[in-house]
A and B are shown apart, each in its own frame.
Chain A
Amino acid sequence: GAVVSQHPSRVICKSGTSVKIECRSLDFQATTMFWYRQFPKQSLMLMATSNEGSKATYEQGVEKDKFLINHASLTLSTLTVTSAHPEDSSFYICSPTENTEAFFGQGTRLTVV
């Protein structure tokens, strides 16, 4: 299977600070990148979709100024949670997609204290 590297796997930050999550597709080119968020005992909720070199498309209810997505290349995308609040504590998962095949990063457990 494809190799996806997501970092960090776990991060604790203080309220009001920003956290950057990085997602790399190591052996394929991700034409589309999906970012998901998963709260405990709930399913994956799509936050935003981005194509390389284009602005991300955000799902309803997701603030684009709070969750900054950069998809500057076909192998790297970043999600920055700005001015983090405790309610942003969640499991964030990237999913780079090549054509119709979706792969998942290892996930980032974010805890905002």
Chain B
Amino acid sequence: QKEVEQNSGPLSVPEGAIASLNCTYSDRGSQSFFWYRQYSGKSPELIMSIYSNGDKEDGRFTAQLNKASQYVSLLIRDSQPSDSATYLCAVRSLGGNNRLAFGKGNQVVVIP
């Protein structure tokens, strides 16, 4: 079982709609959860971090964490063409020298 799984294929959403991304992780000891956005040919940039169960909102982005079910999700409201990118879920566990485990990413395409 992979540490972090993002199983959905490319996601196409019309401009203004909500994009929903999901991520599951295997290590119950995980403490920190991150969503990164990566444009083609660029390095990842952090868009959300979440550490406790529940929702965390930042502008058009909402991260949701459920440690009991071991999943973390990202909602993008009012999707814009500039949101078209690959979104990487990353998880950090206790110990392990602060290393992050990344999912394979989900490509989001916002259609004008």
A binds B: yes
B97 touches A107 (CB 8 A): no
A107 near B43 with CB under 8 A, answer yes
What CA separation (Å) do A32 and B100 show in the bound complex? 12
0/1 string, B88-100, CB within 8 A of A gives 1: 1000100001111
A42 touches B99 (CB 8 A): no
Contacts of B99 in A (CB 8 A): 34, 46, 49
Number of A-B residue pairs at CB separation under 8 A: 44
Q: Contacts A34-B99, A43-B102; is A100 near B32 (CB within 8 Å)?
A: yes
Complex interface: chain B residues within 8 A of A104 (CB): 43-45
Q: Chain A contact residues: over half helix, strand or loop, or mixed? A: strand
Once the chains bind, are A32 and B97 in contact (CB under 8 Å)? Answer: yes
> How many angstroms between the C-alpha atoms of A15 and B100 in the bound complex?
31
Contacts of A109 in B (CB 8 A): 41
Residue interface bits A3-30, CB-to-B below 8 A is 1, else 0: 0001000000000000000000000000
Chain A interface size, under 10 / 10 to 19 / 20 to 34 / 35 or more: 20 to 34
Distance in angstroms between the alpha carbons of A5 and B45 in the assembled complex:
14
B residues lining the A interface (CB < 8 Å)? 32, 34, 41-46, 88, 92, 97-100, 102-105
Name 26 interchain pairs, CB-CB below 8 A, sorted by A: A1-B46, A6-B43, A32-B98, A34-B99, A34-B100, A42-B104, A43-B88, A43-B102, A43-B103, A43-B105, A44-B44, A44-B88, A57-B97, A93-B43, A93-B44, A95-B100, A97-B98, A99-B98, A102-B46, A102-B98, A104-B44, A104-B45, A106-B42, A107-B42, A107-B43, A109-B41
